[in-house]
Amino acid sequence: MNDWIIETKGLSKRYKGRYAVSNLHLKIAKGEIYGFLGPNGAGKTTTIRMLLGLIKPSKGDVHLFGKSLAKERLSILRRVGSLVEYPSYYGHLNAVDNLEAIRRILGAPAARISEVLEIVGLAKDARRPVKGYSLGMKQRLGIASALLGHPELLVLDEPTNGLDPAGILEIRELIKQMPMQHGITVLISSHLLSEVELMASKVGIIRRGELVFQDTIDSLHQQAKGQIRLSVSEPEQALVALHQLGIRAAVNGPLIVMENCDNNAVAEAVRKLVQREHAIYRVEERKHSLEDLFLKIVGEGLRA
């Protein structure tokens, strides 16, 4: 049995007769960076607020670290750090003083402030007023505040939203080091698959409040493999020959089309057709992007 850091069962939230989140079954293992993806308004933030105990589910259960959030909320949330939407600060104070206010609430040791500032790369700017920080620096300070209590789970809601490319890179590299260097499991929500792809080991895609995909990034890449198109003589007969050999393909006009196949399968198909005296005029690949697949999953509700 897996020791899930986050596990939800039938998690649902209803507002005025409409489900913002419906029957969600999330499973996030220790040490993962889990990308929680979906268009704006799909239910990501509502889900995160339920995971953090900020709103109560209409139905279903949330378990963090194998314990029920409804029954052991305070002890569980001491092990969780979060950054939901934009962090708020006292602009006239520096980073140390801002973190000191949070540290006292959490009861963390004073030395932890310098530790988290070092982790997020703000040690050199620790004494500057926060109002002079860039947006990316403010986001890193927000992550520093989430790390003050030595969390085992870090929940980040759209942490790169509104950042310029340099700020996005900073946050991305910071998140990637969390499991490896600090043993922290990360849940990161985003509407950008291209960004999550560079960080996450596993993804869940939510569409209109429903989880329509949950699997590894590698699995997503497998589904995004493109078409191989063979321009051959007598395509209908060539298709019959391939089917007899157990090779899956279809005819599209003068072309033989093979979906989601690897190089060995292509080489085998070509070899068999040449043996049967078919002329191979051209072999071309048409790749699908992950963004195309993401839009297809969101649009059609495909399930892993």
How far apart are the C-alpha atoms of 97 and 283, rounded to whole Å?
A: 64
pLDDT > 80? residue 27: yes
Range in 58-72, 95-109, 151-165, 232-246 the model is least confident about = 232-246
Q: pLDDT confidence of 303, banded at 50, 70, 90?
A: very low
Same fold yes or no, 4-221 and 226-287: no
| Residue at token pair 């890193």 | 140
Check whether 304 has a pLDDT greater than 60: no
Q: pLDDT digits over 115-166, tens only? A: 999 999 999 999 999 999 998 999 999 999 999 999 999 999 988 888 888 8
The answer to whether residue 277 scores a pLDDT higher than 50 is: yes
DSSP letters spanning 177-199: HHHHHH--EEEEEES-HHHHTTT
The H or E element spanning position 142 is helix 135-147
Average pLDDT on 85-112 reads: 90
pLDDT reported for residue 224: 65
238 Cβ neighbours under 8 A, 6+ residues apart: 230, 232, 256, 273, 276, 278
Residue 167 pLDDT: 87
pLDDT at 286: 73
Closest CA to 90 of 106, 82, 101: 101
Contact (CB, 8 A) for 99 and 113: yes
Give pLDDT, residue 164.
Answer: 87
Pick 226 or 25 by higher pLDDT: 25
Return the pLDDT at 85. 75
pLDDT at 1: 42
Residue 244's CB: how many other CB atoms inside 10 A?
Answer: 10
Is it the case that residue 67 has pLDDT exceeding 90? yes
Tell me the pLDDT tens digit for each residue of 237-271: 888 888 887 788 888 888 888 876 777 888 888 88
Answer yes or no: is pLDDT of 180 > 50.
Answer: yes
Tell me if residue 83 falls in helix, strand or coil: strand
Residue 51 CA to residue 155 CA, distance in Å, equals 9
Banded pLDDT at 73 (limits 50, 70, 90): very high
Q: Is 84 helix (H, G, I), strand (E, B) or coil?
A: strand
Question: Which pLDDT score is estimated for 225?
Answer: 65
Buried b (16+ CB within 10 A) or exposed e, 87-124: bebeeeebbebbbeeebeeeebeeebbeebbebbebee
What is the C-alpha separation between 55 and 116, in angstroms, rounded?
28
Q: How much is the pLDDT for 145?
A: 94
Interval 108-117 mean pLDDT: 95
The per-residue pLDDT for range 228-246, each reduced to its tens digit, is 888 988 888 888 888 887 7
Please tell me which residue, 304 or 228, carries the higher pLDDT value.
Answer: 228
Please choose, from the candidates 126, 200, 206, the residue with its C-alpha nearest in 3D space to the C-alpha of residue 156. 200
Q: What is the pTM of this model?
A: 0.78
Q: In terms of Cα–Cα distance, which of 30, 33, 36, 32 is closest to 50?
A: 36
- Mean pLDDT of the residues in the chain: 88
- For the chain, what are the domain ranges? 4-221, 226-287
The answer as to CATH 3.40.50.620 being correct for domain 4-221 is: no
The pLDDT value recorded for residue 302 is 45
Domain covering 226-287, topology: Alpha-Beta Plaits (3.30.70)
